[in-house]
Amino acid sequence: MPFDRAHLPDPTTYFENQGLILKGPRSAKWKTTTCNFHGGSDSLRVNVASGAWVCMSCGEKGGDVLAYKMKVDGKEFVDAAKALGCWVDDGRPPVATKPTPLSPRQALSVMAFESTLAAVAAGNVANGVTLTDADRLRLMVAANRINRLVEAFA
């Protein structure tokens, strides 16, 4: 069941259905509206041709309405695509995938945290700081979590 970009909704219609009022000249490619991510008024810019969007205040951005749907609803790619009607059944049976303990987004968050911890420990060792037993134990926990995520998503 592949993603079909041609089935994405019209950007203007989609954003207006989200309760956003797009402001700007009728011929303008970029319109201005309220940012739902930080609550700022008139800071979100929306490209009515491509659906790309960027907040000039908080920095949230995406390339199309699918990216907006994923961000605003906290959905993964496939779930957001299905909700927008652009995940098309092609008649082929779904490919069986190995279940993972976390969503890809959650796994990246854990990976970022644990790798930062490892980098800080490496920096401390490089600067002559001796790690305590508790620090070494925590570093081993971080390495184990990273290895388990690699195994789960490989």
pLDDT at 89: 75
Higher pLDDT, 98 or 85: 85
pLDDT at 100: 75
| CA contacts within 13 A on the Cβ side of 18 | 21
Domain identity same for 116 and 64: no
Please check whether residue 64 lies inside any domain of the structure: yes
Query: Looking at the chain, how many residues does it have?
Result: 154
pLDDT at 1: 53
Looking at residues 104-123, what average pLDDT do you find?
Answer: 93
**Exposure class string for 44-53: b at 16+ Cβ within 10 A, else e:** bbbbbeebbb
Q: What total of structural domains would you count in the chain? A: 2
Domain identity same for 60 and 111: no
Residue 51 pLDDT level (bands cut at 50, 70, 90): very high
Looking at residues 149-153, what average pLDDT do you find?
Answer: 86
Looking at residues 99-104, what average pLDDT do you find?
Answer: 80
**Helix (H, G, I), strand (E, B), or coil: what is residue 87?**
strand
Beta pairing class for 30-33 and 53-55: unpaired
Looking at residues 21-46, what average pLDDT do you find?
Answer: 91
Please check whether residue 90 lies inside any domain of the structure: no
| CA contacts within 13 A on the Cβ side of 93 | 3
